[in-house]
C-alpha cells in the first residue's frame, strides 16, 4: 500500500514580507494599468462617434464611483512607476541589502499614496 506523498504547505503558512507584498502588488497594479489603458483607448474611440458620448462619460466620471475609479487608477499608476524605479536600480545591482530593500519597499507603498494625493490636488487646479 503505497501512499501518495503530500505536498508541504506553502503560501498558506508563509509570512508576508514587505518585499513580497510589493512584488505581488506590482503585478496586480500592472494588470490594472493594462486594463485602464485599454479602457482609455476605447473611451477616445467612443468620442469619435459624437458629442453625446462625451456627456455620458463626463457624467459617469463625475459620479462617486467614477471618481473612485479614477483615483484607483491614479494610485495603481503611481505604485507601478515607483516600484519600477526600484526595479531599475535593482537591474543596476543597487539596493539589494535587506535593510535598503525594506526601506525602498516602504517608500514605494507610502509614496504611491502621497503621489496619488498630489496628482489629485494638481488635477483639481485645472
Binding site for another protein (CB under 8 A): 1, 3-15, 17, 19-20, 23, 87, 90-93, 96-98, 101
Closest CB 95 distance from another protein, rounded Å: 9
Q: Which is nearer to another protein, 44 or 98 (CB)?
A: 98
- Cell triple for 73: 487608477
Q: Which is nearer to another protein, 64 or 96 (CB)?
A: 96
Closest CB 44 distance from another protein, rounded Å: 32
Q: Which residues contact 76 (CB under 8 A, 6 or more apart)?
A: 28, 29, 32, 33, 36
Closest CB 34 distance from another protein, rounded Å: 17
Closest-CA residue to 82 (of 58, 52, 113, 118):
113
Closest CB 97 distance from another protein, rounded Å: 8
Q: Which is nearer to another protein, 28 or 118 (CB)?
A: 28
- How many angstroms from the chain centroid is the CA of residue 62? 22
Name the 3-class secondary structure at 21. Answer: helix
Q: Which is nearer to another protein, 63 or 97 (CB)?
A: 97
Report CA torsion sign: 72, 77, 80, 83: negative
Amino acid at each position: 500500500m503505497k501512499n501518495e506523498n503530500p505536498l508541504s504547505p506553502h503560501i498558506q503558512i508563509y509570512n508576508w514580507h514587505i518585499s513580497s507584498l510589493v512584488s505581488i502588488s506590482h503585478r496586480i497594479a500592472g494588470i490594472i494599468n493594462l486594463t485602464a489603458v485599454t479602457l482609455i483607448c476605447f473611451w477616445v474611440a467612443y468620442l469619435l462617434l459624437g458629442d453625446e458620448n462625451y456627456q455620458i462619460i463626463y457624467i459617469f466620471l463625475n459620479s462617486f464611483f467614477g471618481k473612485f475609479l479614477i483615483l484607483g487608477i491614479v494610485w495603481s499608476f503611481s505604485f507601478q512607476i515607483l516600484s519600477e524605479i526600484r526595479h531599475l536600480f535593482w537591474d543596476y545591482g543597487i539596493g539589494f541589502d535587506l535593510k535598503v530593500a525594506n526601506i525602498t519597499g516602504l517608500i514605494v507603498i507610502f509614496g504611491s499614496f502621497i503621489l496619488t494625493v498630489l496628482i489629485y490636488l494638481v488635477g483639481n487646479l485645472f
